[in-house]
Amino acid sequence: MKGIILFSFVALSGMRSFCQQPYFEGTLTYHVSVQSKFDNLSEQDAEKVLATGGTQTVDCKNGNYRQLNPYVEQITIAKDKKTYVKFPKLDTLYYVDFSTDTSGLQGIQKTDSVFKVAGYSCKAITLRTANYTNRYYYTEALRNNPALEMENTIGYNHVRARETGAAVYLWERSDYWAGIVIDSCVQVEQKSIDDHVFDLPALPMKKFDPTTLQSIPRFPGKDGAWLRYLQSNLDPNIAAKYVKLPKDQQQAQVIVQVEFIVSEDGSISDIQVVNKKDVHPKLAAEAVRVIEESPRWVPAQFYGQKIKRSVRQSVVFAVTR
């Protein structure tokens, strides 16, 4: 489901289709590293945004897979033609149909150069789409059953299976909008997997829509709460003194653009005036004051996880004749 996220969410670090009986059955263990693309987005928060990181295990059997990392559990059921997604802090089981990915395949690149991963010799394939780019190192020593792979378009699994003979991949580099994710297999265990590993949790089900599970920081309250806060807390004398009202106009305004950080607990820090050169210093100082004294904000959330994010907010100083 990588690259949300379908989000572009194919973000969830890739609905993994690896392994199927009578081909590979067992558990793959990956070390997952995430590199943020933004200065104000830490690696830990990038992990929350992309729903991947740390140690990731993938149990594989007969077309079914269970992928688990600290941020998400994904269970792919071949007969359902779906991948089910459970986030730790949300009491809903989301699902994604095999035919969901419509991000647009733009290119395929293969190489016969040999790379060693977890003791296996691997070749490389790169898939480029409109939303993300994935590079895989796959080993022909471990194979999936191609017949069970071709209907799953999530992350262009069916294309990868066609191009590699349904070989298992042991390394992946995914380039998403929020960061770069590298999955590197550290252990391959060929063993029997109990069917109950793929049992679904007893939770309400809902079709996965990443836009409903992501939010940016916001001022608390209903519509108009921010405007009411400004009207109640801005010093009107400062606006009257430093906002110039042309003689032929009945009203005028100056907008101060303020950027700041909203932490996971809603507290505010690192306040800066973006358009400082364009506004009077007194207006800039007053804008910073009202931001500093504002109540705690509602923090950004991705899939039930609160994260630290920057906000750019307008503070409007208006006068009328």
Domain 2-214: top CATH class? mainly beta
Taking the domains of the chain in order of start, what are their residue ranges? 2-214, 216-320
**Where does the pLDDT of residue 255 fall: very low under 50, low under 70, confident under 90, or very high at 90 and above?**
very high
Name 93's bridge partners: 86, 205
The CATH topology of domain 216-320 is: TolA/TonB C-terminal domain (3.30.2420)
The pLDDT tens digits for 81-105 are: 999 999 999 999 999 999 887 678 8
Six token digits for residue 218: 């916001």
22 preceded by a cis bond (ω within 30 of 0):
yes
Residue 104, pLDDT score = 83
Fold matches, 2-214 and 216-320: no
The pLDDT tens digits for 187-230 are: 999 999 999 999 999 999 999 999 999 999 999 998 899 989 98
The pLDDT tens digits for 148-182 are: 888 899 988 999 999 999 999 999 999 998 999 99
Q: Which residues contact 257 (CB under 8 A, 6 or more apart)?
A: 273, 274, 275, 312, 313, 314, 315
| Three-state DSSP state, 158 | helix
**Where does the pLDDT of residue 22 fall: very low under 50, low under 70, confident under 90, or very high at 90 and above?**
low
Residue 321, pLDDT score = 75
What are the Cα distances from residue 151, in Å, to 47, 85, 167?
A: 29, 19, 16
Residue 102, pLDDT score = 66
